[in-house]
Each structure stands twice: as C-alpha cells, then as structure tokens.
Amino acid sequence: MNSEFPVYGFKLEFFDEQAELLRHYYLTYRTERGEIEIFDLKLRRPFLKRTTLHNVTLKDLYVGNKLMINGRQYTITDYADEYTRNAFSQTGQHTYAMLKPGFYHRLGEALDRIYQEGLIVANLRFGWVSRDTAALFYQEHEGKPFYETLVRYITSGPIVALELVGPNAIAKWRQIIGPTYLERAKSEAPNSLRALYARSTTENFAHGSDSPTSAARELGIIFGNRSVQLSWQLRNTTCCVIKPHALKAGYAGKIIAQIVQSGFEITGAMLASLDINMSTEFLEVYRGVTEDFVEISQELASGPLIALELKLASSTDSPVLALREVCGPRDPIIAQALRPNSIRAKYGINIVKNAVHCTDIEDDALLECEYFFTLIDQSM
C-alpha cells in the first residue's frame, strides 16, 4: 500500500426503488488524485469507472454517511478492508455530544466550535428524552446521591443530541466543552463552552462521551433506539433548511447563531438526508417557477442538511417574513448589494448554493415544517 497516497475502500448500499432491491457496492477512493470508482458486488463488474468528476471528499467517508454520486444516494455501511478500518479508527472516530436542557439557544455557538475543530455532525435531534431513557443513560450512577438530580434535570426540557465524527472526536469534544466542574472550567479552560455558558456543575451546558466504549453505548441508546422525541410546534412558526454545501463548509453554527441573534427561537431541529425524490417533493411548489429547479433539488439531496422550525421569541410579526429578511434575496450577488449582512450574502455562492432555504409564503410554513418533523422523521 502506498503510504503517501493511500487507497481506501468502503461498502455501499443503494435502495433501488423501481426493483425494490437493496444493491451492494464497493467504493474505492484514491487519494493521489481524489479519484473514486464503484464496483457492483452482485454482478462482479465495475459500475462507475475511475473518475474525478464527483463531490466526495475524505471528510465524507465515514460509516453511516450518505453520498450523492451521479444522482444516486448511497449509504456507507462499513469499511471494506482492515487497512481502511485501521486508518479511519481515529480520523473517523464517533462520539456522543449533548446540549443539556436550557441551552439549545446556544446550538449555533456549539456547532461553530465543532466545525472549527474539524469535526462533522453526523446526527442531530432536538427534543425530549423519557425517564426510562434517562435511567438507562445514567445507569452507571444508579444508587449514587446525585443520580435522581441527573435524571430529573435531563428530562426537564428538550436536549440537543449530536453524533460527532472526526479525528480524535472524543477528546476534541471534551476539550471544547471543558472540565465538568464549573469552577475548574472557568479557571483552567476559560474559553470552553462550560466556562462561557454553564450555570452550575449540574447545569453544565453539555455532555461528552469519555471513551470509545461509552460513545458506542450512548450513541446506541440515543440514536440506535431513536430515543429523542423531536420537538416541534407547527404553529406560528417558519421553516429554515441549512443546505448541504453550507454544512460541508462549516457554516451551520454561524447561520444558526445569526438566526437566534435576530430574535428567533428554535422550536425544532434535526439533521436529515433527502434522496432526490424527497427533495423534489419538498420543493414541488417551485417547479415551473424557478428555472434552476432541477439543480436546486439536486443540491438539497447532495448530502446531510439541518432543518429548523423557528418562531419569533418576542414579537407578533410574521416569522415567515422576518426570516426572509434575515436570509436575504435568493441570489447571493443581489443579497451582497442590498442586504450585505444577510445569511445568503455572507455564506451563499450562487442561486443554487445560496446557503439556506426559507419558507417564502405564509401558507407554506406549516407544510414545510410538517414535511421534516413528521413525514421525514417517520421515514428515517
């Protein structure tokens, strides 16, 4: 194996809707030129010849991620060989991160630090955990004096549950949040999230797995069992979708922080991956209205996105109109001229990759929020 330009292999799955079959493939990623090729395991022949015409990067290559290649969405199910498994054991390490009750309004700041440290958000759910889930999560502390306090607190309000992936993800996230005890965090890590935002040692902003074993256990409890009941209101709210290209560029935290600073409260949040059928269904009202409909649909299906349900924290104004002002004109070039501080002006590239989708018409707000927080959630 060439140590300077290694070649990695991954197992892929693709659900063929027409044939109603789950098809299996082998993806090869060649680092020397960034080439990929796909081999059909059943037919035992190349499916996609070696090419650089794709948008797959090394950061995208982790188990559980979905890749959009030539209009088809594949799921990475496993490493294809021990060399790849060993190479990605640290660079592709998974950990569980949680923003505790009362701190979801700081999601933007947390995500910004996560992306700054080179980590990727592989899963995100904003919602509630039951007492049974909390008891299972804190099982190792059962019988200790602080056990009931932990369980009561973690079930007292919605949490933000996150699965993070990246080099030394466990240690990095724990470094980002700082020491458990608030006074230690303030003295030893004054720029940590706990030092900046925690209220006490119990209400200490966040949780992070302390070992690979703990990470696997906690991720299994929270995401494996779908134990976080999504929060949403579907009333006097609007929808915002942070597009895949903006997530990949690490802008999600900055975007969410700007939205909250503009007077919005997060009432729902989830990470989702749409296939092309889902994205065109979600954007159906724009078919025939915008000439870039196909390209915009493909962008929305090109990777993970974050869907937000938002309400105005202290206003009777329309959340739909207010968010449109924060997002700015659809074309980032026009946004830069007319609203230079808007989200699209700062983080958009073009009309297709314009950082965010936001509800345009009052009547569509309920439908768009329902699409993610009921329909998509039920299909995941």
What pLDDT, on a 0 to 100 scale, did the predictor assign at position 1?
Answer: 55
CATH number for the region 7-89 comes to 2.30.29.170
Domain 100-228 has what CATH class?
Answer: alpha beta
- 245: annotated active-site residue: no
CATH 3.40.109.10 matches 238-379: no
Task: Establish whether domains 7-89 and 100-228 are of one fold.
Answer: no
Domain boundaries, the chain: 7-89, 100-228, 238-379
What pLDDT, on a 0 to 100 scale, did the predictor assign at position 183?
Answer: 94
Rounded distance between C-alpha atoms, residue 69 and residue 55, angstroms: 8
Name the catalytic one among 94, 207, 245, 357.
207
Question: Closest Cα to residue 185, out of 203, 161, 163?
Answer: 203
What stretches in the chain show pLDDT beneath 70? 1-3, 90
